[in-house]
Amino acid sequence: MKPIEQSTLSATELLRGHETNRLVHLEEKLPPHSTLAWAAIALGLTFGIAGILHTTAVISVALKQGKPYNFRLASLLATGGILIYPALINIAISRWIKQRHPWALAMSAVVTLPVLVYEALLIPARHSNQIWGVMINGLYLCFVLIACRHNLSAKDTHS
């Protein structure tokens, strides 16, 4: 009796089932966004802690030396803020990255790229170890761009 019932399915119903299987197969190939969300949290914690430690060290040295508030001190304090702000954003949006929201991937890239550029500008400075920050941010941005590409290609197949 079941073979007769299956033969009564319309061609469109069979096609829908085939499309559904193809979409499920495509989603299995996509990289897990949970890994990328954890990477956003790790990046956020790393640079957030680095920003807090940097700011604390700058304030501590300025107070010990009795230096007046000037442009150099302001720029050193800004460096700490430049590290902390994207860190907080990446940690905050990691939940939506895990849920595959394209805007979260875009936001993560938008706040991470300027930090990468800023750190790259600091590499030639004497005693700078910013190369590690550039490498970590660059690697993370590569993962974000790959995830964005997968999201766009998945969107094209759904259309």
Domain limits, the chain: 38-158
Q: Write phi, then psi, for 80 (nearest 5 degrees).
A: -60, -45
Residues 92-119 pLDDT 10s:
999 999 998 989 999 999 999 999 999 8
pLDDT for 2 beyond 70:
no
Which of 57, 62, 50, 58 is CA-nearest to residue 119?
50
pLDDT for 26 beyond 50:
no
The per-residue pLDDT for 23 is: 45
Q: How far is CA 118 from CA 5, 75, 109, 113, 123, in A?
A: 66, 12, 14, 9, 9
By CB atoms closer than 10 A (0-12, 13-18, 19+), residue 156 is exposed
The per-residue pLDDT for 9 is: 47
Residue pair 86/118 in contact (Cβ under 8 Å)? The answer is no
pTM of the model: 0.71
Q: Which two tokens stand for residue 17?
A: 């089932």
Residue that has been written with the tokens 């550039």 in this structure: 134
Residue pair 44/84 in contact (Cβ under 8 Å)? The answer is no
Mean pLDDT value across residues 29-51: 86
Considering just the CA atoms, what is the radius of gyration of the chain in Å? 24
The alpha carbon of 105 is separated from its chain's Cα centroid by a whole number of angstroms, namely 6
Which of 76, 89, 92 is CA-nearest to residue 128?
76
